[in-house]
Amino acid sequence: MMVEGRFRDRIKIIETIEVLDVDFSNIAFTGKEEIDEFYDEVDRLLEATNRRWYFLVNYTDCTIADEVWDHFAERGKHSNVTYGLGTVRFGVSASTRQSIRARAMQTQFRANVFEAREEALVALGELRRRREVTGVPGTEALLRVQDVWVNFGGIQALRGVSFEVQTGEIFSIIGPNGAGKTCVVNVISGFYRPARGRILFQGKDRTDLKAYEVAELGIARTFQNVALFRGMSVLDNIMTGRLLKMKGNVLLDALYWGPSVKQEMEHRAFVERIIDFLEIEAIRKLPAGRLPYGLQKRVELARALAAEPRLLLLDEPMAGMNVEEKEDIARFILDINDEWGTTIILIEHDMGVVMDISSHVMVLDHGEKIAEGGPADVRADPAVIRAYLGEPR
Ligand SMILES: Nc1ncnc2c1ncn2[C@@H]1O[C@H](COP(=O)(O)OP(=O)(O)OP(=O)(O)O)[C@@H](O)[C@H]1O
Ligand SMILES: [Mg+2]
């Protein structure tokens, strides 16, 4: 198929990374005709390929007149829905960014806006990886737990547990009380040392690391029993989750307050984004200890997110919540996973939630893995049903 319009050179296919590279730079869209002209070419080219692509879109110094924004967005959305695997954008000016975000909110599209082309490409790589993890052999698991044993005196809390978590998954751990679920989170996060076995994160052995070293690798967690600083404000509690990201020397920072103030402001801005995201603006100044339990759990989630983790461990984040609160948290978990690409390990007793949002489920009973697989398979597994009904094994 020949495409020969004046925008031809601005639309390229990069086969190796499944990308359609779209260049809107230095264009001022003022009328519907040129928008149509551009997108007609995009759609013609895409139609001819007969497959889907990731869109990498350059908005550097591109302006779109207010009157034609809707039309522009409509055409973009159409191409996305018909031919897209996902879109990343870069070079977006502040005002365009706002319009895109507003649009993204209205139409349930993820905005995915980045400063530079390189960042956009990295994000694109993430998108591709997340699609590929579903069952493609040979990809390195994000986390590998191998034959892990944990003992407390005479109690064997974990007895040779092994599993792998792929990048981008929502991996749920279920099982009766005392099965060893929290123990799994505790060994991954470095709170317990396994008596035997190995734990690898991103291919590297981290079995012997301490909790703070694990955190530095990009693993954050929440606790089954809320562990906030009760007297501190919500905002300050969340800021503590950000401490790892605040590099630099306190003394030097005190002398050269310029960069330090700037850094602090950037961290605050990031934390404000999380507060916004989890819809807790109204309570940001309140002491954490005075909040109802459900909100405390939400603040704990916010604190874990402030560390920008690659792997997020959530130990019963919805325990003690009513149905609406649970739905909120389930939606947040999905959004965190989807929007930030965060891999999640979730311990949860509510089977409805687990079945709804997990990509993979592992079942523990008496310190052993008794089943693993997709949510539907696990639910139907006789060993799982037995464990939950408490029949003798
Ligand atoms: N610090 C500890 N000291 C002694 N025993 C412990 C400790 N932590 C856990 N255990 C024991 O290890 C076993 C597994 O506990 P774990 O907390 O992992 O269970 P769980 O699956 O998270 O249960 P629940 O659903 O009740 O949270 C239990 O028998 C528990 O009593
Ligand atoms: Mg537990």
Same-domain check for residues 110 and 161: no
**Looking at ligand 1, which atom is closest to the CA of residue 185?**
18
Summarised one tens digit per residue, pLDDT across range 8-36 is 899 999 988 889 999 999 999 999 999 99
Asked if residue 176 and residue 45 are part of one domain, the reply reads no
Sheet hosting strand 219-221, strand order edge to edge: 219-221, 311-315, 343-347, 170-174, 360-365, 368-373
321 and 191 within one domain? yes
Q: Where does the pLDDT of residue 256 fall: very low under 50, low under 70, confident under 90, or very high at 90 and above?
A: low
- Please give the Cα distance from 25 to 10 (Å, whole number): 9
Tell me whether residue 204 is in a domain: yes
- Output 335 or 143, whichever has higher pLDDT: 143
The residue type of 104 is A
Q: Which residue has the higher pLDDT, 387 or 216?
A: 216
* Residue 239 confidence (pLDDT) above 60: yes
The least confident of 118-127, 148-157, 219-228, 266-275 is: 118-127
> Both 130 and 163 in a single domain?
no
- 175 close to 364: Cβ distance less than 8 angstroms: yes
Is the predicted pLDDT of residue 86 greater than 80, yes or no?
no
Q: Is residue 249 part of a domain?
A: no
pLDDT in the model for residue 138: 43
Instruction: Tell me, in angstroms, the distance from the centre of ligand 2 to residue 177's CA.
Output: 7
Which residue has the least CA distance to atom 4 on ligand 1? 152
One domain, residues 29 and 148: no
pLDDT band, residue 254 (cuts 50/70/90)? low
Q: CA of 344: how far to CAs of 73, 156, 172, 266, in Å?
A: 32, 26, 8, 26
- Alpha-carbon distance 203 to 131, whole Å? 20
Mean pLDDT of 212-232: 90
The CATH number given to whatever domain includes residue 189 is 3.40.50.300
pLDDT at 142: 94
| Whether 58 and 197 share a structural domain | no
Residue 111: inside a domain: yes
Domain boundary among 111, 134, 157: 134
Confidence at 355, pLDDT banded by 50, 70, 90:
confident
Predicted local distance difference test score (pLDDT) of residue 2: 44
Ligand 1: which of 148, 149, 152, 350 to mutate, judged by most atoms within 8 Å of the beta carbon? 152
Instruction: Report pLDDT for 258.
Output: 59
Q: In the predicted model, what is the mean pLDDT of residues 267-288? A: 92
| Cα within 13 Å of Cα(338), Cβ side | 13
Average pLDDT, the chain: 86
Amino acid at 289: G
Domain count along the chain:
2
Whole-number Å distance between alpha carbons of 372 and 163: 9
344 has pLDDT over 60: yes
* Cα 156 to ligand 1 centre (Å): 10
76 lies in the same domain as 187: no
Cα of 7 from ligand 2 centre, angstroms: 58
Q: What's the 181 CA to ligand 1 centre distance in angstroms?
A: 8
Counting ligand 1 atoms within 8 A of each CB, the residue from 150, 174, 177, 183 with the most, and so the one to mutate, is 183
Q: Which range, of 117-126, 163-172, 189-198, 239-248, averages the lowest pLDDT? A: 239-248
Please give the distance, rounded to the nearest whole angstrom, from the Cα atom of residue 376 to the centre of ligand 1: 27
Domain final residue, candidates 86, 103, 134: 134
For residue 31, what is the domain's CATH number? 3.30.750.24
- The mean per-residue pLDDT over the stretch 107-113 comes to 56
Confirm whether 243 is domain-assigned.
no
**Does residue 103 sit within a domain?**
yes
**Measured between alpha carbons, how far is 325 from 295 in angstroms, rounded to an integer?**
9
Q: Are residues 319 and 203 in the same domain?
A: yes
Per-residue pLDDT tens digits for 190-216: 999 999 999 999 999 999 999 989 999
The position carrying tokens 């230095």 is 26
Task: Establish if 321 belongs to a structural domain.
Answer: yes
Same-domain status, 129 and 159: no
Domain assignment present for 265: no
**Amino acid, single-letter form, for residue 70:** D
Cα(172)–Cα(356) distance, integer angstroms = 11
Closest residue by CA, ligand 1 atom 6: 152
- Between 104 and 320, the more confident residue is 320
Domain that holds residue 94: 8-134
**301 close to 332: Cβ distance less than 8 angstroms:** yes
Atom of ligand 1 nearest to the CA of 175: 21
Give yes or no: residues 23 and 107 share one domain. Answer: yes
Check whether residue 53 and residue 152 sit in a common domain. no
Q: Which amino acid is at 199?
A: I
Nearest CA to ligand 1 atom 11: 157
User: Mean of the pLDDT values across residues 130-154?
Assistant: 76
Give 132's pLDDT tier (boundaries 50, 70, 90): low
CA distance linking residue 86 with residue 314, whole number of Å: 27
Task: For residue 316, report the distance from its CA to the centre of ligand 2, in Å.
Answer: 7
More confident residue, 249 or 24: 24
Of 134, 161, 192, which closes a domain? 134
Rounded to 10 deg, the angle between the 293-306 and 323-339 helix axes is 10
Per-residue model confidence (pLDDT) at position 374: 86
Residue 176 lies in a domain: yes
| 200 and 336 belong to one structural domain | yes
Ligand 1 centroid to residue 182 C-alpha, Å: 7
* Ramachandran quadrant class, 5 (left: phi over 0; alpha: psi -120 to 50; beta: rest): beta
Residue, of 42 and 262, whose pLDDT is higher: 42
Q: Which residues line ligand 1 (CB under 6 A)?
A: 152, 155, 157, 175, 177-183, 224
